[in-house]
Amino acid sequence: MPRKPKKAEIPHEEELQPNAHILGAGEVVEQFITDTLETNYMPYAMSVIMSRAIPEIDGFKPSHRKLLYTMYKMGLLNGGTIKSANIVGRTMQLNPHGDATIYETMVRLSRGNEALLYPYVLSKGNFGKAYSRNMQYAASRYTEAKLEPIAAELFADIDKDTVDFVDNYDNTMKEPTLFPVTFPSVLVNANTGIAVGMASSICSFNLKEICDATVGLIKNNDFDINEAVKAPDFIGGGQIVYDETQMREIFRTGRGSFKVRAKYAYDKPNNCIDITEIPPTTTAEAIIEKIIEKVKGGTLREIADVRDETDKKGLKITIDLKRGTDADKLMKKLFKSTPLEDAFACNFNVLIAGMPRVLGVRDLLLEWIAFRSECVRRRVYFDLSKAKDRLHLLEGLQKILLDIDKAIRIIRSTEEEAEVVPNLMIGFGIDKIQAEYVAEIKLRHLNREYILKRTKDIEDLRTSIADMEDILSSKARIKKIIVGELETVVEKYNKPRRSEIVYAAAEEDETPEDDTPDYPVHLFFSKEGYFKKITPQSLRMSGEQKFKDGDSLLLTMEATNNTELLFFTDRCQVYKAKAADFDDTKASVLGDYVPSKLHMDAGETAIYMAVTTDYKGYMLFFFENGKLAKVDLSAYETKTNRKKLIKAYCDKFPLAAIRQIREDCELVVQSTAGRILLLNTGAVSPKTTKDTQGVAVMTLKKGHRLASVREFVAGEFQKPARYRTRSLPAAGALLSAEDSGEQLTL
């Protein structure tokens, strides 16, 4: 196929006459999908990565930078707060993406929202809460804001050419490409973003710890970061489950995850648990919903009530306990089964010189040191240029000191204004810039006192210039300046850690005790999906089993209360439960309807129940086309407490029968043609893939299908060898004359 796109013929050219003046209007052009992706999608993807979702070395995304710079130019570092709507409107001069997104950016940066460890926006009014999805922020016309004092560190010397400036989207203003921030803000505040094909997730760290680590790295390139920074720190507090190996790997590579758990206190008089700090990855509502789900599912029977008591004092989730409940044991269960303990996934993806790079803490700090060194160097160079210009003017003014009367005579004797500067240049041997400066001096300033005051700083300027030139030539002095700035920042804005570090190695080694009582039970499962659990004592005293009209018993077996149950459905899914999740009942009741009890999908029905305690054995799935899928029962075992597994068996063929076996055995397989095959399951290899298509075990003629499967009973056939086969698949055999009579009685 040629690479050059071909123009298709236009079937109705007369319809395109109104647009005839538009070049190519109405034409259908064939284009390769790769060309479309390259010309249309790639620029969008690059824009999202470079200009929207990934933070840069100063710790900000473009949306953050545009908002904060606008607030800085509005003079909001000092004075009182102003309406947020005014700030949002002014920010639209730099950010054309709409007022709603700008205000959302401001909300996240604010103190009131409690999303950042060191917020940059001082808020007044309702800015919502990051830990609650129901506590939404008020509209921008109701709230007020200004910059926090720490925001001054973002703009230090920004007007001294420390960073580059670019035009805004309509070329009417200038905006900085980066902030010359005086501390490593990229690691001090949390930042997340999802781009195209990549994402960024940076956790927050304590300001003092990060600054100490930076100082240590500046003084010694081999400094161990872990000596200064133990673990991240979150505004919401909580407890960080510390694993040194795991944390060192995150610090080294910038990737990995660690667990954060809620902080709680047991209120003994009221017999309740008060949760006051939660992980940053969840919300109070999500936690409460999960606890309620577990209570309804019967896995948390110790809880009497759970409610949100958050008020102006802060977050508070209260869990009322039943009498005799051990609060610490219950919290261990809650940590394992609810978002009260959650993992924070780290992906320290940062734009470095326009290129996205995933860096560890050490490498990020080294990049920030290089960035800040350049900012300091540019600031010193700017001050040096200004000082040299000032010195040059003062040196010209000093020459006037030699003869003020001569300067006055030259100016008075010059007939044309344009000749004043050249005459001064000739008269005193100064250049044009110096002469212009002298010529602009007011008449009242042409006295010795004024000139002496202006020229006495010449020596100080020369000393300062020599000092700045020395700084520019010395990397050590630049680093010393950065260290001094970091120490000042720590002194001004240091706050104690909020997140507590806990060592849970001992707890993980403990085997959690199962408080569920274990005792013998009889399990009954009907064809319509009803389940009953009856104790032996109750069964002995019961009469006939009761079923719904048209329903009948499918499976019954003896087990214990802690037995695990796997309910296979007609939609190739399996729902996991424990016998303890169901209440003890009697033979005279219908029992629990499994689809409702386990919250199955609408219209979904349970068709088989498997029972296990150790996940040993096999599941056999017979399909109508004669295939058999033999799956290790261990394939359904999960380390987490997942209650629903999809693709429990193959959905490509109609299912004929399901059976659970502990070990290989012989089964009687029968087709609609009346043929019988005596199948040893050991002839079929087991698979660990749940939805395997299986292997053919019975060949079927057109119009026939596999009909039923049952266990083989010794003595069932006069000559069992007639129905056995040496190889699979096999057609099986029709019943012999001596077996047909017996078969009819079965």
Is 66 strand, coil or helix? helix
Any idea of the CA torsion for 520, 599, 610, 299, to the nearest 10 degrees?
Answer: -40
Distance in angstroms (rounded) separating the CA atoms of residues 434 and 439: 9
The active-site residue, picked from 41, 142, 169, 503, is 142
Q: Is 142 in the active site?
A: yes
Question: Is the CB of residue 536 less than 8 Å from the CB of residue 520?
Answer: yes
Estimate the crossing angle of helix 207-219 against helix 475-493, to 10 degrees.
160
Tokens 């012999």: give the residue.
Answer: 736
What does each C-alpha distance from 388 to 460, 461, 463, 466, 475 come to in angstroms? 12, 8, 11, 10, 22
Question: Is the CB of residue 309 less than 8 Å from the CB of residue 317?
Answer: yes
Give the residue from 208, 154, 139 showing the smallest Cα distance to 494: 208
Give the residue from 192, 168, 156 showing the smallest Cα distance to 59: 192
Structure tokens at 126: 């309702």
Q: Work out the burial of residue 414: count CB atoms within 10 Å of its CB; fewer than 13 is exposed, 13-18 middle, 19 or more buried.
A: middle
Distance in angstroms (rounded) separating the CA atoms of residues 631 and 660: 10
Distance in angstroms (rounded) separating the CA atoms of residues 573 and 562: 22
The DSSP H or E segment spanning 364 is helix 361-401
Work out the number of other CB atoms within 10 angstroms of the CB of residue 646.
11
For residue 286, report the phi and psi dihedrals to the nearest 5 degrees.
-65, -40
Give the residue from 288, 292, 309, 312 showing the smallest Cα distance to 300: 292
Structure tokens at 63: 């949306």
| CA angle 248–252–255, rounded 5-degree value | 90
In the chain, the amino acid numbered 652 is: K
Residues acting as catalytic residues: 142
